[in-house]
């Protein structure tokens, strides 16, 4: 599949007729995918380019990462800390990226990591606000806040 265009199989059978559906990825989805790729590679330079200087990342719960991380530097420090606290074991499997065409994107992924004698595998979602081709706000949602809190305490 190409980055900009994808073709589904060799067509689909709809009402007895074979049709081809062409889909192009919304630029906001492509931006979020680029961020996931950079995060997985530990590429803070690329992540820095994708986030506005005054962006805010909201982490739910009651643990060492919870709170409102205000500004690009604070967000990048959050990402660095995730890597340090998990000794580089954190892995993110991106499952879906959805856009509304009005500057909002939702992503869904499974996070896996080890921290000390604890491990976690949890589904999470991020809600992005995008303005001018850059991320301005990220709200994190988790499948089980208590499990997340236990892991990060």
Biggest CA–CA distance in the chain, Å, is 57
Give the per-residue pLDDT at 127. Answer: 99
Length of the chain: 153
pTM for the predicted model, two decimal places: 0.84
Pairwise CA distance, residues 100 & 110, whole Å: 22
CB neighbour list of residue 81: distance below 8 Å, 6 or more residues apart = 64, 65
Pairwise CA distance, residues 79 & 84, whole Å: 9
* 153 residues of the chain, pLDDT tens digit each: 444 334 344 444 445 665 555 578 999 999 999 999 999 999 999 999 999 999 999 999 999 999 999 999 999 999 999 999 999 999 999 999 999 999 999 999 999 999 999 999 999 999 999 999 999 999 999 999 999 999 999
In the numeric block, which tokens belong to residue 153? 């305490």
Cβ–Cβ < 8 Å for 91, 109: no
Virtual torsion, Cα 32, 58, 137, 112, nearest 10 deg: 0
Q: Does 3.10.450.50 match the CATH number of domain 25-152?
A: yes
CB atoms within 10 A of CB 86: 21
């Amino acid at each position: 599949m190409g980055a900009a265009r994808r073709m589904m199989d060799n067509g689909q059978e709809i009402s007895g007729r074979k049709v081809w559906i062409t889909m192009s990825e919304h630029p906001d989805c492509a931006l979020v995918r680029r961020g996931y790729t950079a995060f997985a590679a530990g590429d803070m330079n690329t992540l820095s380019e994708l986030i506005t200087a005054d962006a805010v990342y909201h982490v739910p719960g009651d643990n060492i990462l919870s709170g409102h991380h205000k500004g690009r530097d604070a967000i990048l420090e959050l990402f660095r800390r995730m890597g340090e606290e998990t000794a580089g074991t954190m892995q993110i499997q991106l499952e879906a990226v959805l856009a509304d065409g009005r500057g909002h994107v939702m992503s869904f992924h499974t996070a896996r990591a080890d921290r000390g004698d604890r491990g976690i595998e949890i589904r999470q979602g991020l809600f992005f606000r995008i303005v001018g081709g850059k991320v301005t706000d990220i709200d994190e949602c988790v499948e089980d806040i208590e499990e997340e809190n236990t892991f990060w305490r």
